[in-house]
């Protein structure tokens, strides 16, 4: 039979490459083939960790994952912990650097190093790689799978879907693999952007565009706090950005009335902030109101906070600020509120929330429960983690599990 393979892996991303390596190491006498729609495998991996490839996190824990498959992540982390992923890379020649947040990087801090070593191992194992080929259909043909592209047909005894998602579409990603699986009667959940900026509703942030500020951020559903994070907030013209915001984005998409509150002075209690501002009112009494928060927060952000507190006539002296105006400014410093909307742009997302429903997959093998010898791994699965190596940890772990189960 022409173009017959024992194992075909659709998608040459992080999970697909790891799966192919483990499959061949465990089945040296079988043919293993990666089919990739782009011109080369691993393109998206090069952009991870700001080009440094944060490949796992030594502090990975189950509560940092979302999605219908996340109930299985505790067991998976127990079987394939970050140390196991590091061992796999150490075995192919990678050295590591671990930062203060337990994020693991290649020692060179180059994502290209991770990709190159994966490619070298794929070549050593004589794993066939077919690029510029997009699988558009899969059907059962007796005991084989028939995979069709626009100009070719392939057959395989076992197939792995590591097709990723539509996050970072500018790098060639799409959700076509999930659509193919849906056509086979496999259930999926709605896709939405995750680990991405949160659009702000009804406010123009152009005056503070580019400003960065350390803060504690709280995601609320109306007045009810839902999730709190700490880090650097970045303001764009129409959205809130930064890792601490990214980690709220998947949850925000599921809330009815998402509001983000930013505490810019988290080390101080509210009363301490008010007393601080009253002292500044005396110290800077001859300066204009728009200069009131100089030395407390970024200058541009300070003016924005003062205006948002309803303080007008900014050219007037600081000494004219009333106690009620001081209180409103203090409230903004400790709980600057923004109504946000669910993110809709996949191009700005690092990962996607949603995918093939967790109940469709056997977590012990990553095999589809409905279709024997069909496996689903990586971003195609409905699971997403916070920033810091959590998503690549799952990608590599699911690839290892499937590869060793083939």
Looking at every residue in the chain, the average pLDDT score rounds to 95
Please report the sign of the dihedral spanned by the C-alpha atoms of residue 168, residue 172, residue 177, residue 182.
positive
Q: Report the candidate in 202, 191, 344 with the shortest Cα–Cα distance to residue 259.
A: 202
**Which pLDDT does position 172 carry in this prediction?**
63
Q: Which of 64-73, 246-255, 397-406 has the lowest mean pLDDT?
A: 246-255
Tokens 């702000």 map to which residue?
Answer: 200
pLDDT tens digits along 214-223? 999 999 999 9
Chain length of the chain = 406
pLDDT of 165 strictly over 90: no
pLDDT tens digits along 358-374? 999 999 999 999 999 99
**Which pLDDT does position 170 carry in this prediction?**
62
Burial letters 237-270, b for 16+ CB under 10 A, else e = eebbbbbbbbbbbbbbbebeebbbbbbbbeebee
Dist CA 243 CA 385 (whole Å): 12
How would residue 41 be classed by pLDDT, with cut points 50, 70 and 90?
very high
SS3 at position 32:
strand
What are the distances in angstroms from CA 103 to CA 133, 217, 232, 314, 351? 34, 21, 17, 45, 18
| Percent of the chain's residues with pLDDT above 90 | 89
Q: Which of 248 and 250 is assigned the larger pLDDT?
A: 248
Q: Report the candidate in 290, 307, 308 with the shortest Cα–Cα distance to residue 299.
A: 290
pLDDT of 168 strictly over 70: no
Mean pLDDT, rounded, for 241-264: 94
pLDDT of 169 strictly over 70: no
Q: Which residues pair with 148 in a beta bridge?
A: 137, 153
Q: Which of 134 and 176 is assigned the larger pLDDT?
A: 134
pLDDT of 23 strictly over 80: yes
| Percent of the chain's residues with pLDDT above 70 | 98
pLDDT of 1 strictly over 80: no
What are the backbone angles phi and psi of residue 75, rounded to the nearest 5°? -65, -40
Q: Which residues pair with 159 in a beta bridge?
A: 8, 374
**Which pLDDT does position 130 carry in this prediction?**
97
**Which pLDDT does position 171 carry in this prediction?**
63
Six token digits for residue 99: 């930062």
pLDDT of 155 strictly over 80: yes
DSSP state at residue 46:
G
pLDDT tens digits along 261-298? 999 999 999 999 999 999 999 999 999 999 999 999 99
pLDDT tens digits along 74-116? 999 999 999 999 999 999 999 999 999 999 999 999 999 999 9
């Amino acid at each position: 039979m022409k173009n017959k393979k024992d194992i075909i892996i659709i998608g040459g991303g992080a999970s697909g490459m790891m799966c192919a390596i483990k499959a061949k190491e465990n089945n040296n006498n079988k043919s293993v083939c990666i089919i990739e729609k782009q011109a080369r495998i691993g393109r998206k991996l090069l952009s991870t960790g700001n080009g440094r490839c944060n490949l796992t996190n030594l502090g990975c824990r189950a509560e940092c994952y979302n999605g219908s498959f996340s109930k299985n992540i505790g067991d998976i982390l127990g079987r394939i912990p970050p140390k196991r992923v590091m061992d796999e890379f150490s075995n192919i020649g990678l050295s590591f650097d671990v930062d203060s947040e337990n994020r693991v990087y290649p020692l060179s801090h180059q994502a290209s190093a991770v990709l190159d070593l994966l490619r070298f191992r794929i070549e050593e194992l004589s794993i066939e790689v077919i690029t510029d080929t997009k699988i558009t259909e899969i059907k059962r043909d007796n005991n084989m799978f028939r995979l069709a592209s626009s100009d070719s047909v392939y057959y395989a005894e076992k197939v792995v879907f590591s097709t990723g998602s539509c996050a970072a579409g500018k790098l060639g990603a799409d959700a076509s693999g999930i659509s193919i699986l849906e056509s086979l009667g496999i259930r999926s959940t709605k896709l939405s952007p995750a680990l991405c900026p949160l659009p702000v509703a009804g406010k123009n942030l152009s005056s503070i565009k580019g400003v960065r500020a350390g803060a504690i951020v709280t995601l609320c559903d109306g007045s009810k706090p839902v999730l709190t994070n700490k880090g650097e907030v970045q303001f764009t013209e129409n959205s809130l950005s930064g890792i601490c915001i990214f980690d709220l984005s998947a949850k925000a998409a599921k809330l009815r009335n998402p509001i983000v509150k930013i505490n810019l002075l988290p080390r101080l209690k509210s009363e301490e902030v008010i007393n601080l501002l009253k002292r500044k009112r005396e110290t800077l009494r001859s300066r204009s109101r728009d200069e009131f928060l100089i030395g407390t927060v970024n200058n541009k952000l300070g003016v924005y906070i003062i205006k948002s507190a309803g303080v007008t006539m900014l050219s007037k002296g600081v000494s004219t600020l009333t106690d009620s105006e001081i209180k409103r400014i203090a409230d903004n410093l400790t709980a600057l509120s923004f109504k946000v909307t669910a993110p809709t742009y996949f191009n700005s997302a690092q990962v996607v929330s949603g995918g093939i429903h967790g109940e469709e997959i056997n977590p012990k093998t990553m095999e589809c429960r409905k279709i024997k010898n069909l496996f689903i791994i990586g971003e195609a699965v409905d699971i997403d983690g916070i920033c810091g190596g959590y998503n690549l940890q799952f990608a590599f772990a699911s690839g290892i599990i499937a590869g060793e189960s083939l």
